[in-house]
Structure 1
Amino acid sequence: MPNLDIRITSMYPPGTQGSTRAYASATIDGCFAVRGIKIVEGGRDGLFVSMPSRKTQEGYKEVCFPVTAEFREQLHSAVLDSYRQALTMAQADAPQQTSPTEAPTEQPTGMQMAGM
């Protein structure tokens, strides 16, 4: 099986970009790259991978795609695994929310926006 390097290039919270949750790029065996892979929420199974496509008179046609079912499964699994990992890391990096009854235990530091 080919070696895959998957990078999540952008992520969107639900409701901001329709059903698109993220975009990804895949490098296959270090010699062929695919950009514009979409992670989309919907369908019967929740998240799915949409390969780059273009609109035609008959609908949408994929520009590039896995030829075999084996490689399609490997690529889609790798993309979804990378997305879930990026989502977990983003949630871990998000500032912790405090309830309105709790007072913050320390003062925020760093840059502040003008006018605040």
Structure 2
Amino acid sequence: MEISDVKIYPMQKDGKVKALVSIILADSLAIHGIKIIEGKNGLFVAMPSRKTKNDEYKDIVHPTNNELRQKIQSKILEAYQG
């Protein structure tokens, strides 16, 4: 699946979340609310999620295979690191 566009919105304050991201897939589907997070092992991409009543986070949108997940993460981090 083609990633048509990546828009990076850097965070203005210090913290673990470094940027919010919106992507467009195949010029047809927009996904907003993706986060770039600074973790113990470096930057990673977190898909949009919501907090449940049990204080767990559940993805709202996510790739159904590892190949697409890696493609999305690579494209987003490449755009972020510029």
Residues of 2 paired with 1:41 and 1:72: CA distance? 18
- In terms of fraction of residues, the more strand-rich structure is 2
What TM-score, normalized by structure 2, do the two folds share?
Answer: 0.90
Q: Which runs of 4+ in 1 moved over 6 A?
A: none
CA distance in 2: counterparts of 1:57 and 1:33, whole angstroms: 27
Structure 1 counterpart of 2:37: 40
Name the SS of the counterpart of 1:78 in structure 2. Answer: helix
- Percent of matched pairs sharing the same residue: 38
Distance in 1 between the 2:49 and 2:14 partners?
A: 17
Task: Let me know the Cα RMSD of the aligned residues.
Answer: 1.2
Which structure has the larger Rg?
Answer: 1
Unaligned runs of 5+ in 2: none
Query: Cα distance, 1:81 vs. partner?
Result: 0.5
Describe the SS at the equivalent of 1:66: coil
The amino acid that maps onto 1:49 is V
Q: 2:6: which partner in 1?
A: 6
Structure 1 unaligned spans of 5+: 86-116
Shift of 1:57: 2.8
Higher relative contact order (CA 8 A, sep 6+): 2
The count of aligned residue pairs is 80
> In structure 2, what is the Cα distance between the partners aligned to 1:43 and 1:61?
21
Paired residues for 1:21-32 under 5 Å: 21-32=18-29
